[in-house]
Amino acid sequence: MLLPKDRGHHHWAVSEITPQPVYQARRRWIAAAAGAWLVPRTVRAADPPAPMGAPLPGTRSAVPGALTMDKSTSLADATSYNNFYEFGLDKSDPAEYARALKTRPWSVAVEGAVRRPGTFGIDELLKLGAMEDRVYRMRCVEGWSMVIPWVGFSLSQLIRKVEPTGNAKYVQFVTLADRTQMPGLRSSVLEWPYVEGLRLDEAMHPLTLLAFGMYGQVLPNQNGAPVRVVVPWKYGFKSGKSIVKIRFVEQQPTTSWSLAAPHEYGFYSNVNPTVDHPRWSQASERRIGEGGLFAKKRPTLMFNGYEAQVGQLYAGMDLKRWF
C-alpha cells in the first residue's frame, strides 16, 4: 500500500503502525544497511526529486464502481510517503531510492496453466487494452486511507488473451527483486521476491486493475512502475508493484505477508471492519489530507465501499475465518 506522508504532526509509534515483522527487523536491517548503502542525509537532500512520468491519459471508465466521487489525495502526498520495502522500510525511502529503478526495457512473463504463455514487453502490454481513468478508494491495514486516480485497464483483458486452462484456479504475481537497484532487499523482513495472489474470479473482476499510471501520468517508480495491480476492495499490500511474472496455478499460492506473519495477514485480506488486526482495530480509518493523526476518524466500509460490486465473490464464506 502506498501511503501519503502525514507532515507536520506527531506520528504513531512504530509498533502501532508497522507490521510486526517490520519493526522487529528494523534495527537489525538498519545496522546492516548503514555500512552497505545508506548515503548521508545531507547528500541525499541535495539530489533532485524522483522524476514523474510522461503523460498517460485514459478515457472515463464505465465499469460500475470505478469512479468514486470522494476527493482525491494530493499527488504530492501519494508519491512521497510509500510502502515499497524493496527500497527501504521508512516511508520516505521509496521516493528517494526508487529513482534508480530502470523501467525500460521491462517484460512480464506469463506462465503456468494457460494455453498461450509468453513474455510481454511493457510496450506490448500497454497495447492490450484501452487506457481508462479510474478513481479508487485505497485502504491501508495500518488505518490510513486515500483516494487515487489510476490509469490502466482491467486485468481480465490480459487474462483472456493468455487463455487460462481448467486447472487455473489462482493467479500469482511475482515482483522484481534486483539487489543492484533495490537496496531494501538487504532487509530480512520478508522473503524476496515479493509475491501476491488472487483467486481467478477475483483477478477476473472488472475492478481489478492492471495499472500503468496515476494522476494522468506514467507511474512514478516509487508507486510501482512500470506496471502493478490495484485491487481496491482489499488492503493495499495485495496490490503487487513492479511486476515481472504472472503465474496461473491450481493451488492457493503462499503470499509474502501470509508467510511472514500468517496470524496477521491472510490470503484474502479483504477490507473488513468486523475483523480486527491482532494489534489494532480495523473499524475506522483516517483519510490522508484531512488533518493527519488528528483528523476525525471515519468508519471503515465493508470491502472498502465496494461491497455492491464484489460481495458476491464471497457469498457463503466465513469472512472471519477466511480473512
* CATH number of 160's domain: 3.90.420.10
Q: Measure the CA–CA gap between 206 and 239, rounded to whole angstroms.
A: 15
- List, in sequence order, every residue forming a beta bridge with 147; answer none if it has no partner: 137
User: Is residue 1 a part of any domain in this protein?
Assistant: no
pTM (2 decimals)? 0.86
Is 5 contained in some domain? no
Sign, CA dihedral 141-175-73-78, equals positive
Q: What is the CA radius of gyration of the chain?
A: 19
Number of structural domains the chain divides into = 1
Q: Is residue 323 part of a domain?
A: no
* Residue 243 to residue 66: CA distance in whole angstroms: 22
Q: What is the pLDDT of residue 21?
A: 52
Asked, for residue 321, whether it belongs to a domain, the answer is no
Question: Does residue 297 lie in a domain region?
Answer: yes
CA distance 114 to 143: 38
DSSP 8: T
Residue pair 212/219 in contact (Cβ under 8 Å)? The answer is yes
Mean pLDDT of each 10-residue bin along the chain, 323 residues long: 37 42 45 36 34 83 97 94 92 92 96 98 96 97 94 98 98 97 94 98 98 96 97 97 98 96 96 94 92 83 98 96 94
Domain presence at residue 9: no
252: cell is 492457493
State how far Cα 193 lies from the chain centre: 14
Domain of 213 in residue numbering reads as 14-314
- Whether the CB-CB separation of 177 and 86 falls below 8 Å is answered with yes
Residue 222: count of CB within 10 angstroms of its CB: 26
Tell me the per-residue pLDDT of 176-226, one tens digit each, with 9 for 90 and over: 999 999 999 999 999 999 999 999 999 999 999 999 999 999 999 999 999
- Judge whether 256 lies within some domain: yes
Q: Any bridge partners for residue 119, and if so which? A: 109
Q: Which whole-number Å values give the CA distances from 200 to 12, 152, 169, 188, 244, in the listed order?
A: 37, 19, 5, 30, 19
Establish if 277 belongs to a structural domain. Answer: yes
Find how far residue 240's CA is from the centre of its chain. 5
